[in-house]
Amino acid sequence: MAGSGTWWKEEVVYQIYPRSFKDSNNDGIGDIRGITEKLDYLKELGITMLWICPIYQSPMDDNGYDISDYCALAPEFGTMEDLDELIAEAGRKGIKIILDLVINHTSDEHQWFREALEHPDSGFHDYYIFREGSKPPCNWRSIFGGSVWEKVEGRDEYYFHAFGKKQPDLNWENEKLRRQLYNMVNGWLEKGIAGFRIDAITFIKKDLSFADREPDGVDGLAKCTKGSRNQPGIGAFLKELKQETFDKHGCVTVAEAPGVPYEDLDEFIGPDGYFSMIFDFRYADLDIASGSEWFKRRSWNVRELGGKIMDSQMAVQKYGWSANFIENHDQPRATTKYLKEAQDDPQAVKMLAAMYFFLRGTPFIYQGQELGMVNFERQSPELFNDISSIDQYQRSLEEGLDPDEALRIVNLRSRDNARTPFPWDGSRYGGFSQSRPWLPMTMEYPVIHAEAQSGVQDSVLEFYKSMIQFRQHGPYRDCLIYGSIRPIESSGNVIAYERQKDDVTIWCYYNFSHTGTQERLPDDAAGAVGIWGNDTDAEIRDGMLCLKPFQAILLKQDVPQSGTHS
């Protein structure tokens, strides 16, 4: 529907976690009509595309990432008519919609899986990965803890699940299954959506030897990713998926593709790549020692963060386009994670926002990020809803952490931090619902909410609006969207990069410190002036830029460069 080409480079995407965005019928659960009600808010913010997390029928063991019917919606989210209305209303406002595509696994309550269990001789049995035996075929650990193998009740047989045990992995080796999936994908695209965010897609190919690996935890298990993520041969599946579905519709695809080495980016996002863009988690997870295990933490500093971001940008720039983000429904709030004790300082929050927003790529904003929301610290492990938080708490105890430390660590990283209901106003339940929400509001919602910031000059929300406006419609739009990027040498607490297109060069500086600092500007930046920022006052002395605490500033030469037109 959206045509071919690379139109998606010009989008600003807003991610909605539908359970927590807006509850239209006051049952405590956000829903599709709630999103439609808030389209004016989104339009005013300036975003151009929505990514809506799964809304399909699901027992909600993993909040919708466990789908029991790809063609039906979860009743708590609404009806197909509600979705049609949302797509149409959003379209009228110039807002495109992408949905989540979860095709590595289904729910164990999916009809295919039920058939596979009830009729092991039917074709559905081979839609999943079963192995016979009286013990688990290998010692791999699932992402949400415990073995990847779950015993089939009453039979000496196990099925494979890379995530939760209610999320059996589909067997992509089965061609009939692949065809079924492609038909389903095409059906959704024909409905008029602009594309998909694609879940856990690098998991679809497994190392079928299922050989034991060296245990890496006190549970005697070994992380499953080495044998179940980005395995040799995955390219054939991804290529076929693209040809049979996405290519036919000119749609946008943003893949959650952890584990892709930079040298393979050409295959994934090059001119003939499988996807339009992929998320790079290397800098999002820089506080974790080993992949998805939160309790193995490591310290980091701004130089390292800047290094990882720029490595990612430079690697992607060689072949394709980035999907830039600092938050999503699996990550803690960026304020708490990246700013630590400065999380409540609006100037710092704005600086962080601008730092990632003007990188080369399509920016993604997660709901509530535009308000500067912070993590929600829970006082007891029972208060977590997220299956992975519950597992991480248990595993950290098993690994020898004391309960207070375990709770502290899970609080820092829990996916529930970002999943709290959206605070629309300061009323009871924050205007999200008139009933008690499925997950408690954050402690700060009486202060941090949309109404308190809307139209308020220096608010974080108004800053986001101005930032989006500047990228999308400002005088340097072409450079800020399409310009190349390169890092600029800077001191430890400053991240700096240059964007350049034709005769326009923009130097971007972000001071992550609560103290001022001085940076030597590139030689060609002589005469530069501040064109945008959280403080556009550029104090330059002898080629040194004096940055104020948490200042974010974009600089450009005041006079046209020689030999170029203005």
Strands of the sheet with 517-520, listed across from one edge: 517-520, 544-547, 539-541
Rounded alpha-carbon distances, angstroms, from residue 537 to 282, 492, 518, 531: 33, 22, 14, 9
Q: Which of residues 286-345 bind ligand NOJ (CB under 6 A)?
A: 329-330
Interface with ligand NOJ, residue 62, by CB under 6 A? yes
384 is a contact residue toward ligand NOJ (CB under 6 A)? no
> Which position among 52, 200, 418, 439 is part of the footprint of ligand NOJ (CB under 6 A)?
200
Closer by beta carbon to Ca ion, 19 or else 548: 19
Q: What 3-state class would DSSP assign to 40?
A: helix
By CB under 6 A, residue 65 contacts ligand NOJ: yes
CB nearer to ligand NOJ: give 96 or 329.
329
Residue closer to Ca ion, measured from CB, 29 or 200: 29
Q: At its nearest, how many Å lie between ligand NOJ and the CB of residue 148?
A: 13
Binding mask 117-146 for Ca ion (x = CB under 5 A): ------------------------------
Give SS3 for 326. coil
- For 234-243, which contacts have Cβ atoms below 8 Å and span 24 or more sequence positions? 234/202, 234/204, 234/205, 235/267, 235/274, 237/172, 237/178, 237/204, 237/205, 238/201, 238/204, 238/268, 238/274, 238/275, 239/274, 240/178, 241/178, 241/181, 241/182, 241/185, 241/274, 242/274, 242/275
Which of ligand NOJ, Ca ion, none does residue 256 bind to, with CB < 5 to 8 Å depending on kind? ligand NOJ
Least CB distance from residue 64 to Ca ion, whole Å?
14
160 binds ligand NOJ (CB under 6 A): no
Q: Does 169 sit near ligand NOJ (CB under 6 A)?
A: no
Site for Ca ion, residues 10 to 29, rule: CB under 5 A? 23, 25, 27, 29
* Residues 453-512 within binding reach of ligand NOJ (CB under 6 A): none
Q: How far is the CB of 424 from ligand NOJ (least distance, A)?
A: 24
**Whether residue 66 lies in the annotated active site:** no
Which residues in 227-282 belong to E strands, given as ranges? Answer: 252-256, 277-279
- Cα separation, 200 vs 522, in Å, equals 41
Count of residues of this chain found to bind ligand NOJ when the rule CB under 6 A is applied: 9
Task: Assign 472 to helix, strand or coil.
Answer: helix
Q: Strands across the sheet with 149-151, in order?
A: 130-132, 157-160, 149-151
The helix/strand/coil state of 504 is: strand
Phi, psi values for residue 349, rounded to 5° = -60, -40
As a whole number of angstroms, the distance between CA 221 and CA 223 comes to: 7
Q: Which is nearer to Ca ion, 30 or 530 (CB)?
A: 30
CA-CA distance, 340 to 158, in Å (whole number)? 44
Cα 188 from Cα 516, distance rounded (Å): 52
What DSSP line would sit under 536-549, residue for residue?
---EEETTEEEEPT
Q: Pick the catalytic residue from 61, 66, 256, 370.
A: 256
Nearer to ligand NOJ, 349 or 418 (CB): 418
Under the binding rule (CB under 5 A), the answer on residue 31 touching Ca ion is: yes
Q: What 8-state DSSP symbol labels residue 166?
A: T
> Considering the rule CB under 6 A, would residue 102 count as an interface residue with ligand NOJ?
yes
416 contact, one of ligand NOJ, Ca ion, none, CB 5-8 Å limit per kind = none
Contact map string, positions 282 to 311, toward Ca ion, x by CB under 5 A: ------------------------------
Q: How far apart are CA 416 and CA 398, in angstroms?
A: 22
Interacting partner of 23 out of ligand NOJ, Ca ion, none (Cβ under 5 to 8 A depending on kind): Ca ion
Catalytic pick from 31, 169, 199, 293? Answer: 199
- The DSSP output letter for 445 is T
Decide: is 158 part of the binding site for ligand NOJ (CB under 6 A).
Answer: no
382 is catalytic: no
List interacting residues with Ca ion (CB under 5 A). Answer: 23, 25, 27, 29, 31
Active-site positions? Answer: 199, 256
List interacting residues with ligand NOJ (CB under 6 A). Answer: 62, 65, 102, 163, 199-200, 256, 329-330
